[in-house]
Amino acid sequence: MLTREYVEKMRKSGDIPTVNLKIFDSIYSLPFSQFVVDHENDTEELYTHYINDVLELKDDDLISYLNAIKSVEIVDNQSLEKEDSFLMSLYMQTERTNAIDFLINNGVTLNRDAFINAHKLILKGTSSQKFSDKDHRTDNEAFVVRIESGNPKIRYFALPYTDIEEAIKKIMEFYNSDTYDDRIFLKSQIIHGLVASLQLFDDGNTRYARILQNLKLSELTNKKYNYNLPLPALYGTRAYFPHRSKYRELISNLAINPNYENWDAWFNFNLNRTEDAIFFIDNKLTAYKKMIYRK
Whole-number Å distance between alpha carbons of 53 and 190: 27
Query: Domain containing 220: what range?
Result: 26-287
Answer whether residue 161 is part of any domain: yes
Contact 145, 88 (CB under 8 A): no
Answer whether residue 4 is part of any domain: no
Q: For the segment 87-113, what is each residue's pLDDT rounded down to a tens digit?
A: 655 555 555 678 899 999 988 889 999
Answer whether residue 7 is part of any domain: no
Domain CATH number, residue 103: 1.10.3290.10
Q: Which amino acid is at 59?
A: D
Whether 137 shows a pLDDT value over 70: the answer reads yes
Answer whether residue 9 is part of any domain: no
- The pTM for the full model equals 0.91
Answer whether residue 295 is part of any domain: no
pLDDT band at 83 (very low <50, low <70, confident <90, very high): low
Answer whether residue 116 is part of any domain: yes
Answer whether residue 14 is part of any domain: no
- Report the number of distinct structural domains present in the chain: 1
| pLDDT given for residue 64 in this prediction | 93
Structure letter (DSSP) for residue 146: E
Whether 50 shows a pLDDT value over 80: the answer reads yes
- Residues near 136 by beta carbon (within 8 Å), at least 6 away in sequence: 116, 161, 164, 165, 168, 200, 201
Answer whether residue 180 is part of any domain: yes
Whole-number Å distance between alpha carbons of 250 and 269: 9
Q: Which amino acid is at 212?
A: L
To the nearest whole percent, how much of the chain has pLDDT over 90?
A: 62
